Structure 1
């Protein structure tokens, strides 16, 4: 894929950038440039370009605004102590976007082109990658959407893929601490045959009213149960879950109607390398409650690209409150193992890092 580059005439000043990188927040500030490539049945993927970051001009009849045909990814670029910049398992993001695109009837962007797009933007906006201190990073958002102007229910014949980037600090404003969870029994994310395993905006839109419910009940995040029986834990609004048992074994809910997170699969691998048996299976909400009551469940944690790894605190619902596990020892051990690889503080024995600069 040949990529043309037009640099911004008005990049953020070094002084202002320094201010931003001290406390970047999450998804608040954006880099000087963005990547775009377009697709049509006749031309395939074409006109790949990096241009100054700026608003999009969309016709009111643009298909994505009416039929929500879109996918996206979330990933990060990390600066190591020696100044080099690395991506973490970007091939897995590219492959997941292909699976999401298949489910949303969008064209597939080849893995090599996905990687070229992301790397090109990181190289152009390398000064936006924060220093390693404080576990800051450059959050990358590749996304694809139906950009044809038409009103009619069919796959779009014009599709746009873009990448934007935003320096990131901690996802949770209060810092790393156990997150309190609200169990919603009125809403579900996805059912069998639906889009639960695709990374598409509709899945997140469906979680927002339940998240409002969680916030109204004083909780940080919402827990969803399966749509069929309403008995089995699936995931949080945007995070996967793990339950650590007294014997050291770990259970994480099976995929199918939940998103197969890259952080999720990385943690499974790291936990197994640390000597823990990890099982993917259906996990009932009653097993959660009884496991805490008996002391059989000793830790619970959640993970995602943005939040990395967070310990889970108490579970609240209309039926009452389930206490938080007493320990976060393994949670923090796994978190450190993952973050140390990402930031180059530990050896990358799994070959997960891809150096960009």
Structure 2
């Protein structure tokens, strides 16, 4: 591991100032992803700025009935918070599905959003990878890609984003708040992650040196009837090969509102807007749910070894929508 400096930030403005002066510095939250990447040489920061002790560790109900989640809230505290469990149960389920208790006790909300792909070519510095070394190529396309993207990929990168929490946040229109030396800003989560395109090394729309300070969830009554389902290759603490966060509001047998996001299918949590549009105003029945899944997956472009993900995701979407609609009867 490369030698590096360490500073503990005492306030947000001080942390931002340090990164503004040193572009090779990185913010350190729980370190559950960054430190691992440093050990294998993927990340090589000259300085770590520890932000874990900043006063960004609360979950608050907003005036309009949503939630504001501080960036240093641990995953364990987020999952256990009574308002999260009551208002956004899919978020609690996603966080609990994401890692072991030990990791959840360390990992932070801000760090979870910024975790990087677990693609084996990205984490092996002896191999080319456009995400790690722009222009070097994407060997996954011809090589090992069983667990890779089927939506929104390009010839430059087919890696997927590993966050479970991010999938639930994407379903409920989360907004990421941040601060830079120039002031405060915010990005809708759907704009926070950049399309992979021909620049897969550019992963988020955060300005240089920006520190995530909070994530805001707007009020969403439909989210109270939500769930998260994750499929993985082993039962305990593995990354998803496919996941769905879904919520529906059914009245008089008709879908009045729906939210769906997919995980482990793209370089970012994938908001399934085509599926949502196909549901609204339609009967809450199996044919409707199948049509919604097909509408979303029509754009899927799997590679030879990832074709299984298309029927997998179709079945997941149908199963969750059926389960949620039956719960409202």
**TM-score normalised according to structure 1 size:** 0.26
More helix by share: 2
